[in-house]
Amino acid sequence: MTSPIAIVTDGSGAPVPGADGHPQERRLSVDATGALRTSGGGGGGGGSSGSVTAAGVNGTAAQAVQGINGGVPIEISGFEPNGQKLLVGTARDRFFDNFNSFDTTDTWELVQTGPGMSITGPLGGAAPGSGPYLNIASGVDVGKTIILSRSSFSLPVELRYQITASQRIAGSRLLVGFVQVDDSGAIITDTTYSTAPEVLDARNAVFHQHDGTTATTAQLRVRAAGGGTDQVANAFGTGFTTVAGGTAPNFLSATTYALLLERDKINSRAFGMNVLTNSGGQFSYDRLLVNPTRRYKVCIIIENDAVPASSTDWRLHLVNVMDATRFDVSARNAGNTDGAKAFPVWNVGGTTLITTATGGIAVTIAPLVQAETTTNLGANATFTGTTRDGGSTAVYATFNVLGISPQSGTVEVQMGTATPATFVCARQAVVANEPFQIKVPVTARYYRVVFINGATAMTGSAFMINSAFQRAS
C-alpha cells in the first residue's frame, strides 16, 4: 500500500521548495503508538502520541509540526483516529466473528458484565453444521452485560447476526445493533432531551431487541439525536425464531437477522437459513434516522430489566458487518413488502418481471437467440415459428434468421404490432443445402419466421432454423 503524501508548506500554506527548487514531499504513516509520522525528507525523528512529527527541514533533529505546516493540524481524508487506520469504504476493518474464540483484545470490548451474568465458551461446534458460539447466561439479577466491537463503522453499513436463546422469558432480553461513538471509541451519550437507558443513552442508536416470551418476536429500537427512543414491534413477519436447532451443546442457529443502516432509511430483516423458501420478513423504517455522518460500533446488550424467573442462555453464533455502500442506491420507498424495497428494473427486450406469490421477485429473461425448428417438413408443408417479442421499447436493431434446409423452399420473416405477427416483411428463396439468412430492421415489436418447403419432403437431419434479435451496436 502506498502511503499518503503531504507537501511541506510555510506558515501561509505556500509550498516550501527543496534544494532542487521543487516542492518537498513527505510520506505519512502512523506508528504503533498512534502518532502520525512523516518520512522521505531529510532527518526525521520520533513521533509522539497525539502530535504530528515532521522530518526536520534542517535535516537534523525531529521538529514539531510547526516546521512543515505552521502548526495547522494535517487532516487526512479517510483517517480514522479510533484505531489509527485509514478507512476503506465505510468500514475501517472487515468485521466478522463466528466465535472461534472470544477475542476481547482486538475484536470485542467487554464493557461490563452484569451482576449474576456469566460468559462462557465458545461452546458447541462438534456436530455437523454447528459452529461454535459464545454463551452468555443472563442469571436472575437485574443488570446488563455490554459488549462493543473494537471496530467502528460509518453508514451505509449492514449488520448480519445469528443468535439463539435457551428460552424466551419475561425480564430478559438481548439487543444487537449500533451505537454512536466518538473518535476514541467511547459511546456518545446524550440526555439533553430524553433518557434512553435501554440503548445506553447513546445519542444515535439502532437496535434489534429480542425480548418477551415468544421466540418469534423482536422489535426495532431507534434513537436519533438524543431524542426519545422509537420502536417498531415485531414487524419482521413470520418464519424467524431464536429457538436453536441441534442438540446441546452443539446448537444451530435457525435465523439470520440483518440490520441495514442507510442514509435515508433503516432496513430490518430476518430470514430462515438453509431453506429453499426465504422465510421470514423485512421492513423499512425512516421515522427517525440516525446521523449518517457519525461513527458507530456494534453493540450487544444482554439485559435483565426485571427479575426473570430463571436464567436464559443467550448464544452469539455470528456477527458480520459489511460495508453496504453497494446497497446505498435508495431502491424505492419504505414499506413492508419486497416490492416496496425492490430495485427498479426496466422491463425491456422480452424481459418479464414477476412478483411471485411468496413475495420474492423472479426475473425471467427471454433468450435473445431462439432455436426455431429442426423438424423435417413434408412436401409443400410449412413451418410457422413462434412470434418473438422484441419488447415495447426499441432496444433491438435487427431481427435475424439463419438456417439451412436439405430441400429448396421459401423463407419469410413476418412482422406485426400485435401477436401473432402476420405481415410479410422479407422473403427469399432457399436453395437446398445452402445456408440462408435474412436480416430485417426492427420496426415493429413482433416478428416470426416462416419456412415453406418445396415439393420434396425433407429427410435426414440437415434442417435447422434459428432466429435472434440483435441489439443496436
Partner 1 sequence: VINESIAYLTAANGERFQVLNEAGDDWDEAATRALYEASWLALPQPEPQE
User: Which stretches of the chain bind partner 1, using CB under 8 A?
Assistant: 372-387, 419-420, 454-457
Cα 275 to chain centroid, rounded:
20
Closest CA to 346 of 313, 391, 411: 391
Whichever of 219 and 370 has its CB closer to partner 1, that residue is 370
160 backbone dihedrals φ, ψ, rounded to 5°: -120, 135
Closest distance to partner 1 from the beta carbon of 412 (Å): 13
Closest distance to partner 1 from the beta carbon of 455 (Å): 5
Q: Which three cell numbers, joined as nine digits, stand for 132?
A: 461454535
Closest distance to partner 1 from the beta carbon of 408 (Å): 9
Whichever of 332 and 427 has its CB closer to partner 1, that residue is 427
DSSP 432-449: TT--EEEEEE--SSEEEE
Whichever of 118 and 384 has its CB closer to partner 1, that residue is 384
Closest CA to 78 of 31, 121, 125, 28: 28
Distance separating alpha carbons of residues 124 and 127, to the nearest angstrom: 8
Residue 69 DSSP one-character state: H
Closest distance to partner 1 from the beta carbon of 368 (Å): 16
Q: Which three cell numbers, joined as nine digits, stand for 396?
A: 433491438
Whichever of 376 and 400 has its CB closer to partner 1, that residue is 376
Whichever of 306 and 379 has its CB closer to partner 1, that residue is 379
Strands 36-39 and 52-54: parallel
Closest distance to partner 1 from the beta carbon of 376 (Å): 8
Closest distance to partner 1 from the beta carbon of 382 (Å): 4
Distance separating alpha carbons of residues 462 and 431, to the nearest angstrom: 13
For residue 276, how many other CB atoms are within 10 A of its CB?
Answer: 6
Whichever of 127 and 354 has its CB closer to partner 1, that residue is 354
Query: Which three-class secondary structure state does DSSP give residue 198?
Result: helix
